[in-house]
Amino acid sequence: MAIGSQEIIDLVKEYAEMGLDEFMEDDILKNIPLLNTIGAFYKFGNTLRERKIKLNVLRFLQQLEHIDLEERQAFLEKLNNEDQSGRIFEQLMLLLEKLDETVKAEMLGNLFRIYIVGKLSRHTFFRCCAIVERAYIADLILAYQRFYYIIGKQSIDQTIYNSLVDSSIQLSDLNYNLMNLGIISKDLKLLTLEFKMKHDLGEGELYGKSSLNYVGRAIVTYIIYDYNSERFRSYLNQAIVL
C-alpha cells in the first residue's frame, strides 16, 4: 500500500524535509500501515529497536518519491502475478530490520527504485541488498568513490562522510574487503618464479588488477545517485538489465 500510494509517499517526503528523527513518535505515522504494523509487532520489544526499524522503512520509502505513480502501480501488478505470496516484501522487511546504519536503508531504497524501473533483475537486486546489509558502510562509500564511472558523481554529505568513513583505510585493505563481499575480482599475475616462491613462503603478495563484477557494478552505480540528473537518466535509459 505504501509503495503504491502517492499520498503516503508525499507524507514520507514531508517528514524527510522536517527531519525524520524528530517525528518518529507522532500519531500521523499511524497513517502508514506498514509502520503501524511494525509498532504492534515490536510492542513488547526494545523501543529503540522499534524506532530504528521505523526510521529504516521511512528512509527506504523516501527514495521512491520521484518514480511515477503509474510505474509503481505497474510494478505492483507485475509482482501480484509473479509473487502472490508476498515473499519479496517479506525479504525486504527482514533486510530493513537488520540494517546497522540508516544510510543503508537509503541505499536499499535506491536499488529498489532501479528494480522498479526494470534495470535490475530480482536476482541481482537481492544479491546487492544482501551485500549492502552485511558490508561495513565505509567500504561501500569508498567503493562508490573509487569505481563510480558515470559523469556527474553525486556528492556525499561531508558530515555523514566524516562520521562513517575512516580516512586511514588503505587501498589494499579496501580491495581485500570488497573481494570478501564478492563485488570485485582480481586477475592474479605472478611476476616471476622467485616472486612465487616468496609468496608461497608468506613473504610477498600476489599482484593483480582489481575489477568489478556485475553485482559490483550494480552496487557502485545504484546505491548513491541523483535520480533527477539528466546525465544519470540518460545513462539509465541506455543501461542493460543487470
Same domain membership, residue 148 and residue 56:
no
The domain boundary, picked from 43, 77, 98, lies at 98
Task: Note whether 94 and 143 are same-domain residues.
Answer: no
Q: Tell me if 127 is assigned to some domain.
A: no
Report field, pTM of the whole predicted structure over 0.85: no
Find the domain containing 147 and state its range: 138-242
- Closest by CA to 37, choosing from 77, 112, 93, is 93
The answer to whether residue 119 is domain-embedded is no
> Is 133 inside a domain boundary?
no
CB 140 within 8 A of CB 184: no
The verdict on 149 and 241 lying in the same domain is: yes
Confidence (pLDDT) at 205: 46
- In this predicted structure, what is the pLDDT of residue 203? 45
The predicted structure's pLDDT at residue 37: 60
- Do 64 and 143 lie in one domain? The reply is no
Q: Verify that 86 and 147 share a domain, yes or no.
A: no
- Give a yes or no: residue 37 inside a domain: yes
pLDDT given for residue 121 in this prediction: 94
In the prediction, which pLDDT does 44 show? Answer: 43
Does residue 126 lie within any of the structural domains?
A: no
Asked if 9 contacts 64 with a C-beta cutoff of 8 angstroms, the reply is yes
Out of 40, 71, 98, pick the residue that ends a domain: 98
Q: Is 6 in contact with 14 (CB distance < 8 Å)?
A: no
Task: Tell me which residues of the chain have a pLDDT lower than 50.
Answer: 42, 44-45, 188-199, 201-207
The alpha carbon of residue 173 and the mean position of all alpha carbons in its chain are separated, in whole angstroms, by 22
What is the C-alpha separation between 102 and 93, in angstroms, rounded?
Answer: 14
List b or e across 160-196, with b for residues whose CB sees 16 or more CB atoms inside 10 angstroms. eeeebbeeeeeeeebbebbeebebbeeeeeeeeeebe
Residues 150 and 77 in one domain: no
The per-residue pLDDT for range 199-241, each reduced to its tens digit, is 454 444 444 556 889 999 999 999 999 998 889 999 999 999 9
Residue 117 domain flag: no
Same domain for 240 and 185, yes or no, is yes
Cα of 219 vs its chain's centroid, Å: 7
Is 138:165 a contact under the CB 8 Å cutoff? yes
Same domain, 88 and 4: yes
Distances 17 to 14, 62, 226 between C-alpha atoms, Å = 5, 10, 17
Instruction: Read off the C-alpha cell for 107.
Output: 541505499
Q: How many domains does the chain have?
A: 2
109 falls within a domain: no
pLDDT for 190 equals: 43
Q: Is 151 in the same domain as 241? A: yes
Long-range contacts of 33-39 (CB under 8 A, 24+ apart): 33/1, 33/2, 34/1, 34/2
